[in-house]
Structure 1
């Protein structure tokens, strides 16, 4: 049998990590390991032997026999996959996958994780720019209970060796852009562009992953069940052999990834329900206003205030039962409901003030048509009301487990 016939089969279909590895026999599936480290490669023939040697020595010192190294190669012209497969004779913990159809670092990592047997999954570059010895510190973070352990250039002990001013600017600029587009994810990471980390398998099991480009950490943090993140400083080294693969295309893909993840993580279904409830509140407001003003003869201002409050209460009740029902059902008790109502009132009344201010600014300052200004203000305030009610009135963190 040829040495190359023992290559790992390449998974196909959805990019999702299961609780057990795919493409293995039942005997192998039942023999789980503590750790699986993916080494994605493309034209890394000059580095693959060295990286495998160093990683094997490091992991043998802490978890001998309880780890595997998986080289996932995108059919490199320099035959990296062949060189790696030849190393399996010397390093039995090494396994190799050759991909001939799919391309890209992020998907290579996921395909590797899909066949991995480890309870903890990791990734490291093959070019030795990620110091292998940092692996031991990342492992300690996982041992202490972290769901995700990240090697960071932007914490104590971290940095870059010989980056140009332009590259430093682009790296920091990418992080700032991420904070604007995806603050709840990027804000948790000091180095969201890191490609050197470990994650618990349980944290990403069953989560469909959809990375764009060559970075996957943001995808894992955004879609996974990540509670505790540990960070370890490292100095990014200059490449010892081979050519750098960083191009402008990678920065464009990074932006595309942020936007896709932003849209996917936005609770669209919940927002649509919130909009339907808000639309119904318009008719409640007008109906009550008619009764108070025309039937009962109350003053204009008093009628407007009372009708608005009735509409707010109507909207709150429907949102509490329907839009955010899954959350409020775990926050039982009249006291908590009243607390949610008061917060809802504050957010909505603040939105009303913003509506008036925005209409006046658009119409009086920018000269926008008054009806168009009103529509813009309604759209902006609807987003305001939804987002702040989601984060304040119906906070998931208040739910009783």
Structure 2
């Protein structure tokens, strides 16, 4: 990245918010909290707040978070009424954050919180987005590694805006970027795609992703497919909309070739055309489904409880919808 994006550090004390989406992380959350606390060591001109977002956990995750809020004045937390998904939890954390910059990091310790101070240092030099790029993914299956590699390359190929390869949601966002993202009307925000669409100055920090410290991955195959669908539908590409045109052209060409050459089994062509037409209709159906969810106007999540730490400690509980 060009050095021209940097600027002198400001003498003003900045607040950095660290957002941790959580879903059934009781096995690892105490270790996560300890590493976060040790990683966010005091730096001149910087102070931190930590925001836990419980995405409808069914284990002891919320009880642990309640303990953290009572023990540390810099911890706040919100609890969703049910599991709304990782992207909704990230969005909820961004909306809760008060910082001049916000770091989003998963709670499973695959992403090292120790590089957060370096992210903050680069932000103070003038970068609006500091992304963590994975150079290796330890402890993950060959299928997961291959599918992730292919996902980012394919998304980058069809997208109408830049896509950062091999980066998840572990990144720092300037307040200007956060305000833009939280103000979007998207009901299903694909965070990393929206960051690329916004086009703010971005730099990356490379790291090797660790295996999960405990527990199981919450990104099951159905959730990975759902995230991929959301990514491709919101990538800004017109490719899916052009599939019916290409399918029709290919079908007509195939029919013409069959007529001219008089080759092929009798039932092969109708079956092939039926398959192509089905794929085209499926692509249109996905877009119509996405439009339906958008115009329904439902919130991305519902908060059932909110907690913040005071001296000696207080709990604020509410039930509210967040658009």
Is structure 2 residue 198 aligned with structure 1 residue 198? Answer: no
The alpha-carbon deviation at position 75 of structure 1 amounts to 2.8
The alpha-carbon deviation at position 140 of structure 1 amounts to 2.0
Greater helix percent: which structure?
Answer: 1
Residue in structure 2 matched with residue 137 of structure 1 by the alignment: 118
The alpha-carbon deviation at position 173 of structure 1 amounts to 1.1
| Counterpart selection for 2:159 from 182, 186, 189 | 182
Gaps of 5+ in 2: 1-12, 239-248, 260-323
Residue in structure 2 matched with residue 41 of structure 1 by the alignment: 22
Q: Deviations over 1:131-173 (max 9, x none)?
A: 11121222222122111111111xxxx3122333222211111
Residue in structure 2 matched with residue 60 of structure 1 by the alignment: 41
Aligned pair in 2 of structure 1 residues 168, 75: CA closer, same or farther (>3 Å)? closer
Query: What is the TM-score when the length of structure 1 is the normalising length?
Result: 0.53
Aligned pair in 2 of structure 1 residues 85, 63: CA closer, same or farther (>3 Å)? farther
Equivalents in 1 of 2:48, 2:176: separation in Å? 17
Residue in structure 1 matched with residue 195 of structure 2 by the alignment: 220
Query: What is the TM-score when the length of structure 2 is the normalising length?
Result: 0.64
Taking CA–CA contacts closer than 8 Å with sequence separation of 6 or more, which of the two structures ends up with the larger relative contact order?
2
The alpha-carbon deviation at position 253 of structure 1 amounts to 1.8
User: Which residues of 2 match residues 312-391 of structure 1 at below 5 A?
Assistant: none
Aligned pair in 2 of structure 1 residues 175, 136: CA closer, same or farther (>3 Å)? same
The alpha-carbon deviation at position 63 of structure 1 amounts to 5.8
**Aligned residue pair count:** 233
Residue in structure 2 matched with residue 92 of structure 1 by the alignment: 73
| Counterpart selection for 1:50 from 18, 22, 31 | 31
Is structure 2 residue 89 aligned with structure 1 residue 115? Answer: no
- Higher-Rg structure is 1
Equivalents in 2 of 1:159, 1:209: separation in Å? 35
Equivalents in 2 of 1:97, 1:63: separation in Å? 29
* Contact 2:105-2:169 at 8 Å conserved across structures: yes
Equivalents in 2 of 1:131, 1:93: separation in Å? 20
Equivalents in 2 of 1:152, 1:37: separation in Å? 18
User: Which residues of 2 match residues 70-89 of structure 1 at below 5 A?
Assistant: 70-89=51-70
Greater strand percent: which structure?
Answer: 2
The alpha-carbon deviation at position 101 of structure 1 amounts to 4.2
